[in-house]
Amino acid sequence: MESVFIVVAILVIFFVVIQKRYLKQDELKDSAYKKKGPVLNAQETAFYNALISAVGQHGVVMCKVNLSNVILPLATDKKQWFVANNRIAKSYYDFVVCDPRTMEVRVAIELDNGKELDKGKVDRQKLLIHVSKSAGIPLIGANIKYSYQVGRLRRLLAAHIDLIEPDKEVRFCKRCGSPMVIKVASQGEHKGRRFFTCSRQPHCTYTENYNVVFEEDEQS
């Protein structure tokens, strides 16, 4: 009698395993997919191409980058960590520019299409501003019209990405005429950003923003 019970139990288990496997395969067969289409719309594509032209070989441009691929919560408590991670998991940066050597994000870009923001988009922007500031990732806003202004995009990005070509960019102090040098802010709101300063410091304290427009871009 006991052997019969064992045989029945084995048959039941076998039947359950086969059924689950069959149902799983059947579900896969019923799941058909199709290509969604372009990742970016026409306006976003135009901006993306302009961004690539502005950055050149100085960075790698990526689009629709999920925040959780770039940012990690600092919470040590497991529950708080998951809550914080879930908060950013469904949001993304429109564009990021990465260091071509390390692929570390140098700057994130939020594209403004000129349309009025609904509550969901306002909340998303607040989240982007908060997490970017907390993680130390520069976040800049760019209007869709910049798609046609590569030079202006360069000026926008220049504080965060080395776009200067030495043979094209030589600056002299407008106060004393001495050559200017590039330095990086070590503290304050602009910590980590590059800027030009007079080589005669501390005798001359003149500084300029680290922004560049090449001659060919002024003509385009």
3-state secondary structure 196-217: EEECCCCCCCCEEECCCCCHHH
Residue 96: per-residue pLDDT: 96
Q: Assess whether 69 and 127 both reside in one domain.
A: yes
Q: Assess whether 3 and 91 both reside in one domain.
A: no
Q: How many CA atoms lie within 13 A of 32 on its CB side?
A: 2
Q: Note whether residue 172 is domain-resident.
A: no
Q: Note whether residue 169 is domain-resident.
A: no
SS3 52: helix
Q: Note whether residue 27 is domain-resident.
A: yes
Beta sheet of 139-143, edge-to-edge order: 60-66, 92-98, 105-112, 139-143
Q: Note whether residue 168 is domain-resident.
A: no
The CATH number that applies at residue 98 is: 3.90.1570
**Which residues lie closer than 8 Å to 56 by C-beta, 6 or more apart?**
163
Q: Assess whether 77 and 98 both reside in one domain.
A: yes
Q: Assess whether 51 and 94 both reside in one domain.
A: yes
Residue ending a domain, among 157, 188, 207, is 157
SS3 38: coil
Residue 214: per-residue pLDDT: 39
Q: Assess whether 29 and 46 both reside in one domain.
A: no
Give tens-digit pLDDT for 11-20.
Answer: 667 666 666 6
Are 204 and 178 in contact, with CB atoms under 8 Å apart?
Answer: yes
Q: Assess whether 18 and 57 both reside in one domain.
A: no
Beta-bridged to residue 98, according to DSSP, are 60, 105
Q: Assess whether 47 and 126 both reside in one domain.
A: yes
CA distance 54 to 217: 9
Q: Note whether residue 166 is domain-resident.
A: no
Give tens-digit pLDDT for 203-220.
Answer: 999 988 775 443 444 444
Residue 152: per-residue pLDDT: 80
Q: Assess whether 126 and 197 both reside in one domain.
A: no
Enumerate residue ranges in the chain where pLDDT < 50. 166-167, 212-220
Residue 26: per-residue pLDDT: 56
Query: The domain containing residue 29 runs over which residues?
Result: 1-33
Mode of pairing for the β-strands spanning 92-98 and 105-112: antiparallel
Domain count, the chain: 3
